[in-house]
């Protein structure tokens, strides 16, 4: 870890929100080695108190960092920096950036420029430059945090090789300003069938294409579930209860009704622990499977999802025709 100590700040007078300010500062601390793999971030309450912010703001920041693969979040263990590929890539990018920015700030200060005004002007100036034709497609995934959003994100990234940001519809810190900023950062919006109308309404005033994709489950899983005995007690678990309900509904739609269903989210720790002794099986989405298997190895099975063929085709078209700004699917 480097010797220099950096202090997080939240400046309400800047023209981009404090959520983004805190997230990007933390990415800098991770990227330059000020915070290392295995280090714990302050609790959401502690950091919110230190910065005089709402706790939901810090929770949003930590969730975004988790979605980018930079931290893990576990109840009782805190928010911990990972040592995975995403963290290593961030360090490879940010360390040379730091050298360039330090030199630029030194020169700008010597010329008497206010640094924040200088860099805000620089950001605006960068927008005046011709777009880079080889730049990656910027995709906004609009979902709710209770569904298996990592599944959709991974498939979108794989099909398009684009840069994907996740925007949560049920985030308490969602505001008109955060919606506007998210729309301006992306070339295209991708959402799921569960939230198609909500997403289109939310981003209706912006010139961004909205593409709707969907997922289904493996036929082999339905066959296995159909073979379970009458009144077998099973739970469908995702990141949130709404995701568990989606899983259970796919099974009901297949005409499988002989089971006693429970639906819950991994965030319902107390309820899950209370239910486990009476459960015969736990079907876990990919987002929570590893953790649940470690906790309840004898009962947990993967609930495999797959992207619908029509959705694959839509994403492949995005990769082939990246000039999608404007219009709406």
Using an 8 Å Cβ cutoff, are 318 and 137 in contact?
A: yes
* pLDDT (0 to 100) of residue 325: 46
Residues 6+ apart with CB under 8 A from 58: 22, 44, 45, 47, 48, 51
- pTM passes above 0.75: no
What pLDDT is recorded for position 89?
85
Q: How many angstroms separate the CA atoms of 144 and 142, rounded?
A: 7
> Do residues 201 and 316 both lie within one domain?
yes
CATH number at residue 51: 1.10.10.10
Say if residue 271 is in the same domain as residue 205: no
Return the pLDDT at 329.
40
Specify the DSSP element, H or E, that contains 131.
none
Say if residue 260 is in the same domain as residue 156. Answer: no
> How far is the CA of 327 from the CAs of 62, 137, 282, in angstroms?
33, 16, 43
Residue 50 placed within a domain:
yes
Q: Do 184 and 313 reside in the same domain of the chain?
A: yes
The predicted pLDDT at position 29 comes to 94
23 and 80 in a common domain:
yes
- pLDDT score for 232: 93
Domain that holds residue 48: 18-127
Q: Is residue 328 part of a domain?
A: no
Residues 231 and 288 in one domain: yes
Q: What is the pLDDT of residue 1?
A: 43
Backbone angles phi, psi at 81, to 5 degrees: -75, 135
Give the per-residue pLDDT at 327: 37
Give the distance, in angstroms, between the CA of residue 193 and the centroid of all CA atoms in the same chain.
18
How many domains does the chain fold into? 3
Based on the domain organization, do 221 and 209 belong to the same domain? Answer: no
* pLDDT per residue rounded down to tens, the chain (329 residues): 444 555 666 556 555 678 888 999 999 999 999 999 989 999 999 999 999 989 999 999 999 999 888 999 887 788 999 988 888 889 988 888 998 999 999 999 999 999 988 988 888 887 776 655 456 788 999 999 889 999 999 999 989 888 899 998 877 666 788 888 888 888 899 999 989 999 998 888 887 778 999 999 988 999 999 999 999 999 999 999 999 999 999 999 999 989 999 999 988 888 988 999 999 999 999 989 988 988 899 999 999 999 999 999 989 888 776 554 443 34
Vertex 260: Cα angle to 257 and 263 (nearest 5): 105
**Is residue 155 domain-shared with residue 221, that is, in the same domain?**
no
pLDDT value at position 224?
92
Tell me: do 288 and 170 sit in the same domain.
no
For 19-152, strand residue ranges (E) read 71-74, 78-81, 138-143
Q: 53, 10 in Cβ contact below 8 A?
A: yes
276 domain-assigned? yes
CA angle 239, 243, 249 (to 5 degrees): 150
Per-residue model confidence (pLDDT) at position 328: 36
Q: How many helices (H) and strands (E) does the chain have?
A: 13, 12
CATH number at residue 228: 3.40.50
Considering the domain architecture, whether residues 148 and 210 belong to the same structural domain is answered as yes
The confidence score (pLDDT) of residue 172 equals 60
Q: 151 and 54 in one domain? A: no
CB 72 within 8 A of CB 66: yes
One domain, residues 24 and 108: yes
């Amino acid at each position: 870890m480097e010797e220099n100590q950096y202090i997080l700040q939240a400046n309400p007078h800047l023209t981009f929100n404090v959520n983004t300010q805190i997230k990007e500062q933390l990415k800098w601390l991770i990227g330059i080695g000020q915070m290392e793999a295995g280090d714990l971030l302050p609790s959401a309450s502690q950091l919110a108190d230190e910065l005089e912010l709402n706790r939901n703001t810090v929770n949003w920041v930590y969730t975004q960092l988790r979605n980018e693969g930079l931290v893990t979040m576990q109840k009782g263990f805190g928010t911990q920096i990972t040592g995975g590929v995403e963290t290593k890539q961030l360090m490879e990018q940010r360390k040379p950036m730091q050298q360039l920015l330090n030199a630029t700030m030194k020169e700008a200060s010597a010329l008497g420029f206010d640094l924040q005004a200088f860099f805000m002007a620089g950001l605006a100036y960068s927008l005046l430059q011709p777009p880079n034709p080889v730049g990656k497609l910027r995709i906004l995934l609009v979902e709710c945090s209770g569904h298996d959003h990592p599944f959709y994100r991974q498939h979108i990234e794989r099909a398009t090789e684009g840069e994907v940001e996740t925007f949560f519809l049920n985030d308490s810190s969602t505001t008109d300003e955060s919606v506007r900023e998210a729309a301006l950062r992306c070339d295209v919006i991708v959402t799921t069938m569960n939230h198609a109308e909500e997403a289109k309404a939310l981003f209706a005033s912006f010139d961004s294409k909205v593409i709707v994709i969907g997922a289904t489950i493996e036929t082999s899983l339905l066959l296995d579930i159909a073979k379970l005995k009458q009144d077998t007690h099973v739970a469908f678990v995702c990141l949130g209860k709404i995701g568990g309900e989606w899983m259970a509904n796919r099974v009901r739609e297949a005409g499988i009704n002989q089971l006693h269903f429970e639906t819950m989210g991994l965030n319902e720790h107390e309820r899950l622990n209370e239910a486990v002794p009476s459960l015969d099986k736990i079907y876990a989405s990919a987002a929570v499977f590893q953790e649940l298997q470690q906790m309840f190895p004898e009962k947990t099975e993967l609930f495999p999802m797959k992207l619908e063929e029509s959705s694959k085709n839509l994403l492949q078209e995005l990769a082939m025709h990246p000039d999608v700004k404007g219009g709406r699917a």
